[in-house]
Structure 1
């Protein structure tokens, strides 16, 4: 499948070499049009748009997310941020018989902050260290997870190395000891296929900001169907109760599905932008996107090596995502210099972070490596 035709869908690619999808996906014309439509509906219908239009749009987005994750539609809840969703999930747990929570030093901070904040309630955090700043050996999970473990909270793809973790195996280890696994999939869903049922995932969080091309302010939660109704969040909102438009102030009847984790009124503007991104992802197909992202990122790794750089990526190519780290003595200055050449990348912890996607070309990669060589 030739994906080059989609380049015209993303105006930024006309004047920039955009290699920073893992920070923020490129804005599509489709997302822009959906936001304009939302504003026009607001202007024309006012509050009545909630009942005639927007509640249906919210349901449609949930359904598209379910399709992407190969989940059931009632296993999806929407949120405003990963932090908010994790806070709601965390409100379900007590730290009595089981108090251990296993995290890693390579996970995004907001995921770990949630659990460190529970130490005052009795949680005990065990943080796994990395031998190379790229991966966490499975043996470390096997050693850490025991019958005192309540939760394992970790990433599918690490944000500072791009390494793809074997989440199915980690889930199996956790389940063997009666623990639940919470997966931060912000850096995987979209670029790496995720089949939540096949992978045995209990709980997963992700969002529109990056590989799903939806922008900020819209995230989502998956909770396994047979688990969701057994979890009782104490942090709740009116979108998580049944018959919400009865406006009953004297009782709580949580929805009997993952939707019980929805809290306040969603941002319909953010949802509109997200809808455009999801449509493009589903239109192209996740397998086609994964193949294209894998091909372009491996080309990047090879070109960097030939140019004398030493990209910091997983040793095994099957564990590499489309996030490529390039060690550099002054990554911040390098990113600034590249920006002046209309090349957009990012930096993290002593490295330039490069994240090509299906809409990038071999010419983009060639120009980036040439420019990096010139400024280094």
Structure 2
């Protein structure tokens, strides 16, 4: 039987590390990969340094394409999730009579910040309050009317670990005439992301968390049906169909998703993320997801239902278990710290996120820290 130790060869000892919703641990070989891919061509000082560096982005896009079940050409590197969302909003033509932007209050705040700033350009922001159950498509249906220009769905919410069934939501948006954007920052790598099955208009995400790719390795995916109508205003030489043409009198959008790329990109994040994703794909994302579910289920079976913030049903839950022990919360948190477990706390509760380099002993420690009557 394969154990987590077998899966985790070549990775740091993640014992007690339950912060994968914040930042996944990189492969032990990540530093060497960075040195070879970034500094190797750089110090070689030949005239083909960008030719060498471009292979990092090719690898990055190819690896992500396997994760999201689509073509590399429809993926564009981004600095962050929010930069991708900003690019969406500044690239599409106006639709007369449609000026509303819709998002759930539980979404990550920076996405809301992007939509809020967009109000300067005539948009109206509509936020679905926390009191409404956005796991129910009927809630979204009430908000998706003829005035909605764009709706942002979150696959897995960071503070509650609620996991939405995205395909029906994207169908609702399409039927209403609204543009759909899906944030997968908290799900990609630990829950299936399927661009073909979802048929969203755009997907934005990050490799920082479950893909263990580090900061700066964001991305956006563009539905091929939307691409021809996208003319981003934030462009640079890497948005060009031929970045190395260097003719100031001629600009032509790249024929694929790279039209969203902009100016000179950061090579290091792409190198690290590509190396990490390729390593995870060798293990198998299905195995990683199953391992995560098994560990979380150990806690969900043992803890009293009233202390469970994240959904009790596995299919509605992301890779994080969120606990709120009410009056015993501070005691529980201190017990976790004393046990050298790494976690964080939000107003909704304590967040615990095991990855493949965690094992049964980590979850047993969590359970042993529960206050006793």
What TM-score, normalized by structure 2, do the two folds share? 0.92
Whole-Å separation in 2 of the counterparts to 1:41 and 1:348: 42
| Aligned counterpart, 1:222 | 221
The structure-2 alpha-carbon separation of the partners of 1:303 and 1:31, relative to structure 1 and needing over 3 Å to count, comes to farther
Q: Which residue, out of 341, 349, 361, partners 1:343?
A: 341
Deviation at 1:52, TM superposition (A): 4.2
Whole-Å separation in 2 of the counterparts to 1:342 and 1:39: 35
Question: Retained in 1: the 8 A contact 2:104–2:134?
Answer: no
The structure-2 alpha-carbon separation of the partners of 1:141 and 1:29, relative to structure 1 and needing over 3 Å to count, comes to same
Whole-Å separation in 1 of the counterparts to 2:10 and 2:333: 25
The structure-2 alpha-carbon separation of the partners of 1:175 and 1:371, relative to structure 1 and needing over 3 Å to count, comes to same
Whole-Å separation in 1 of the counterparts to 2:218 and 2:209: 11
| Aligned counterpart, 1:209 | 208
With 134-143 and 171-180 compared, the bigger mean Cα shift is at: 134-143
Whole-Å separation in 2 of the counterparts to 1:79 and 1:276: 17
| Aligned counterpart, 1:321 | 318
Question: Retained in 2: the 8 A contact 1:88–1:236?
Answer: no
Structure 1 portions without partners, runs of 5+: none
Q: Which residue, out of 355, 358, 368, partners 1:357?
A: 355
Whole-Å separation in 1 of the counterparts to 2:352 and 2:191: 16
1:54-203 matches, cutoff 5 A: 54-93=53-92, 94=94, 96-131=96-131, 135-203=134-202
Question: Retained in 2: the 8 A contact 1:12–1:26?
Answer: no
Q: 1:101-137, CA deviations, whole angstroms, 9 ceiling, x for partnerless residues?
A: 11101100111111111112211121112337x7543
With 164-173 and 347-356 compared, the bigger mean Cα shift is at: 347-356
Whole-Å separation in 1 of the counterparts to 2:98 and 2:360: 51
Whole-Å separation in 2 of the counterparts to 1:52 and 1:261: 20
Whole-Å separation in 2 of the counterparts to 1:211 and 1:364: 18
What TM-score, normalized by structure 1, do the two folds share? 0.91
* Number of residue equivalences: 370
Question: Retained in 1: the 8 A contact 2:57–2:271?
Answer: no
Question: Retained in 2: the 8 A contact 1:21–1:211?
Answer: yes
Q: 1:237-296, CA deviations, whole angstroms, 9 ceiling, x for partnerless residues?
A: 211111111112223201111111111222222222112210122112222222111111
Question: Retained in 1: the 8 A contact 2:17–2:354?
Answer: yes
Whole-Å separation in 2 of the counterparts to 1:37 and 1:193: 31
With 338-347 and 147-156 compared, the bigger mean Cα shift is at: 338-347
* RMSD of aligned residue pairs (Cα, Å): 2.3
Structure 2 portions without partners, runs of 5+: none
Whole-Å separation in 2 of the counterparts to 1:248 and 1:266: 19
Whole-Å separation in 1 of the counterparts to 2:168 and 2:365: 39
Deviation at 1:39, TM superposition (A): 4.9
| Aligned counterpart, 2:20 | 21
Deviation at 1:168, TM superposition (A): 0.5
Deviation at 1:159, TM superposition (A): 0.7
